[in-house]
């Protein structure tokens, strides 16, 4: 290793420990920045030290969960794995992940690297890492104020993957955007998809991207939609159609709130409560097989896997069941609405919408979610919170769903826990997740009695 890289690693590590000592956050991005300042080639240098393979995970929804499954699966096969922490998926965060994983000589000891990459950051990251595989979950509208429009995201991803022509893509062929990206890119690719209908009507928002053929511009015909633009499509004009996926999940059954299914003739009973986690599992499985990594312990691992990952957590506060969910874009939120409706019991719902840069400053996406279904959710109360609580309240008002708004989430949670239905759903977008999780954990510990 070059002296310059060693020095960069040392300084980055010093920065990290300084941040921790000063208690200024978790220190997952600044060390990367420092390392890159000293050695612009640091990422190439360190990622080159990974012994076996590197895979990046990209896409609008499901990145974090899929990446976590991959990492866990590889670890269960006895591999040493590097992974970047949740949210640290931009260039600096990724460099930090590599730097902080080195030993005291600045060397890496890893068989695999599983790296989640933000779609915009992908253009800068992929050429440096030169991954063996790139897994793409799906492409849909997300934070349009940051991405501009879906086609811009698409073009960024295209630039990223064509800069690494040797990288094998693992794509969801039910998503016309992913499939067309793979075909146009000229990279080798492997497909996964689900050919049976597993999502209910409520999960399927009317809002979808690109239902027009990307080859001839004519409207596509769909046998059915999963959600968004995902589904079984073909073009009646030029004949372009969804291919038969190389990897698939079949015989999907939902029983006692949990989904089970078969892959490669093996039956799986994981702790999956929402159908999109079947996609996440399937894509990770396809990636493992594509990389030629072992999968002997996959069944055992996945059946014990905690899909919650702080994004779906269940708390018990004073005998009340409190579920915390993250929903940060229309597709994700639609899935949550559908999840809430699958529970027929009386419930309370708190929705917190913030508009920090992280969340997306533009909240117009709230109008792309079919909230009218909440009228049938058997809710005692729906409460809106966050900086854009009135935008959320308006969204519900224009569906004739009544609600109230609060400035004090904690007080509202306590009210619902003490006087409510004992069945509370808290749905938040990005910036509220950490604090709300912290607050609910604390209330759970205290038994929720103190005000």
**Binding site as annotated, residues:** 213, 216, 235, 238
3-state helix, strand and coil shares in percent for the chain, rounded to the nearest 5: 40, 20, 40
112, 365, 425, 430: which one binds another protein (CB under 8 A):
365
Q: What is the nearest approach in angstroms of another protein to the Cβ of residue 177? A: 12
Q: What is the nearest approach in angstroms of another protein to the Cβ of residue 451? A: 26
> Of 26-34, 265-273, 354-362, 438-446, which segment contacts another protein by CB under 8 A?
354-362
Question: Residues near 405 by Cβ (< 8 Å), separated by ≥ 6?
Answer: 383, 384, 385, 389, 390, 392, 393
368, 406, 410, 441: which one binds another protein (CB under 8 A):
368
Is 149 near another protein (CB under 8 A)?
A: yes
- 238 φ, ψ (degrees, to nearest 5): -105, -5
> Of 26-34, 42-50, 146-154, 158-166, which segment contacts another protein by CB under 8 A?
146-154
Is 25 near another protein (CB under 8 A)?
A: no
Is 434 near another protein (CB under 8 A)?
A: no
Cα–Cα dist 21/426, whole Å: 33
217, 239, 292, 445: which one binds another protein (CB under 8 A):
217
Yes or no: say if 424 and 320 are a contact pair by the CB < 8 Å rule: yes
364, 438, 442, 449: which one binds another protein (CB under 8 A):
364
Which residue, 243 or 367, has its beta carbon nearer to another protein? 367
Is 363 near another protein (CB under 8 A)?
A: yes
Which residue, 220 or 232, has its beta carbon nearer to another protein? 220
For the chain, the maximum distance between any two Cα atoms, rounded to a whole number of angstroms, is 66
Q: Return the closest-CA partner of residue 369 out of 434, 307, 429.
A: 429
Is 109 near another protein (CB under 8 A)?
A: no
Cα–Cα dist 187/166, whole Å: 7
Is 449 near another protein (CB under 8 A)?
A: no
String of contacts with another protein for each residue 387-426, x by CB under 8 A: xx-xx-xxx-xxxx----x---------------------
408 is catalytic: no
Other beta carbons less than 10 A from residue 280's beta carbon? 24
Torsion-angle region of residue 446: left (phi > 0), alpha (psi -120 to 50) or beta?
Answer: alpha
Q: Which residue is catalytic, options 362, 368, 400, 407?
A: 362
DSSP string, 169-189: EEEETTSHHHHHHHHHH-S-E
Q: What is the nearest approach in angstroms of another protein to the Cβ of residue 279? A: 24
207, 252, 341, 439: which one binds another protein (CB under 8 A):
207
Is 158 near another protein (CB under 8 A)?
A: no
Which residue, 101 or 393, has its beta carbon nearer to another protein? 393
Cα–Cα dist 39/2, whole Å: 10
212, 252, 273, 444: which one binds another protein (CB under 8 A):
212
Q: What is the nearest approach in angstroms of another protein to the Cβ of residue 327? A: 16
Q: Return the closest-CA partner of residue 416 out of 373, 371, 395, 385.
A: 385
> Of 35-43, 129-137, 207-215, 278-286, which segment contacts another protein by CB under 8 A?
207-215
Is 367 near another protein (CB under 8 A)?
A: yes
Q: What is the nearest approach in angstroms of another protein to the Cβ of residue 361? A: 6
Yes or no: say if 281 and 227 are a contact pair by the CB < 8 Å rule: no
Looking at residues 236 to 295 of the shown chain, list those that interact with another protein (rule: CB under 8 A).
none
Is 148 near another protein (CB under 8 A)?
A: yes
The two three-digit tokens of residue 444, written as one number: 């759970």
Q: Return the closest-CA partner of residue 43 out of 52, 32, 28, 59.
A: 32
Tell me the CA distances in angstroms from 323 to 58, 348, 440, one per residue in order: 27, 11, 9
Cα–Cα dist 346/177, whole Å: 39
Is 33 near another protein (CB under 8 A)?
A: no
Cα–Cα dist 92/76, whole Å: 28
Pick out the residues of the known binding site for Zn(2+).
213, 216, 235, 238
Is 30 near another protein (CB under 8 A)?
A: no
Yes or no: say if 212 and 219 are a contact pair by the CB < 8 Å rule: yes
20, 24, 186, 219: which one binds another protein (CB under 8 A):
219
- 199 φ, ψ (degrees, to nearest 5): -100, 145
Other beta carbons less than 10 A from residue 343's beta carbon? 15
Catalytic (active-site) positions: 362
Contact set with another protein (CB under 8 A): 141, 144-145, 148-151, 206-207, 211-212, 217, 219, 357, 361-368, 387-388, 390-391, 393-395, 397-400, 405
């Amino acid at each position: 290793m070059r002296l310059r890289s060693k020095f960069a690693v040392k300084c980055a590590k010093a920065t990290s420990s300084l941040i921790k000592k000063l208690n200024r956050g978790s220190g997952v991005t600044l060390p990367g920045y420092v390392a890159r300042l000293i050695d612009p080639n640091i990422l190439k240098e360190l990622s080159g030290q990974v012994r076996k393979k590197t895979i990046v995970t990209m896409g609008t929804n499901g990145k974090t969960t899929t990446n976590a499954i991959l990492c866990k699966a590889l670890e269960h096969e006895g591999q040493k794995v590097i992974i970047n922490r949740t949210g640290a998926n931009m260039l600096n965060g990724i460099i930090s992940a590599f730097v902080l994983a080195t030993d005291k000589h600045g060397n890496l000891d890893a068989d695999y690297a599983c790296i989640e990459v933000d779609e915009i950051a992908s253009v800068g990251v992929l050429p440096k890492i030169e991954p063996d595989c790139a897994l793409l979950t799906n492409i849909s509208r997300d934070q349009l104020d940051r991405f501009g429009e879906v086609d811009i995201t698409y073009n960024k991803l295209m630039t990223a993957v064509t800069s690494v022509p040797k990288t094998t893509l693992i794509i969801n062929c039910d998503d016309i955007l992913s499939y067309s990206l793979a075909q146009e890119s000229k990279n080798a690719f492997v497909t996964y998809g689900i050919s049976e209908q597993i999502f209910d009507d409520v999960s399927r928002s009317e809002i979808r991207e690109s239902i027009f053929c990307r080859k001839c511009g004519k409207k596509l015909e769909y046998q059915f939609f999963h959600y968004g633009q995902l589904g079984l499509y073909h073009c009646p004009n030029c004949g372009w159609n969804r291919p038969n996926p190389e990897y698939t999940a079949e015989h999907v059954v939902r029983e006692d709130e949990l989904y089970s299914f078969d892959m490669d003739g093996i039956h799986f009973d994981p702790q999956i409560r929402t159908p999109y986690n079947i996609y996440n599992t399937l894509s990770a499985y396809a990636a493992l097989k594509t990389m030629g990594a072992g999968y002997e312990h996959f069944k055992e691992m996945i059946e014990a896997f905690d899909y919650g990952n702080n994004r779906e957590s269940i708390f018990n506060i004073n005998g009340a069941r409190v579920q915390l969910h993250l929903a940060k874009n229309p597709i994700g939120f639609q899935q949550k609405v559908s999840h809430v409706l699958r529970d027929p019991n009386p419930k309370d719902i708190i929705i917190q919408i913030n508009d920090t840069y992280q969340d997306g400053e533009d909240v117009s996406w709230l109008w792309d979610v079919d909230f009218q279904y909440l009228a049938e959710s058997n809710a005692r109360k729906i409460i809106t919170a966050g900086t854009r609580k009135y935008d959320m309240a308006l969204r519900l008002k224009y569906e004739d769903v009544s609600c109230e708004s609060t400035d004090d989430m904690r007080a509202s949670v306590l009210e619902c826990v003490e006087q409510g239905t004992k069945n509370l759903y808290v749905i938040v977008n990005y910036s509220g997740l950490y604090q709300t999780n912290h607050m609910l954990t604390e209330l759970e510990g205290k038994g929720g009695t103190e005000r």
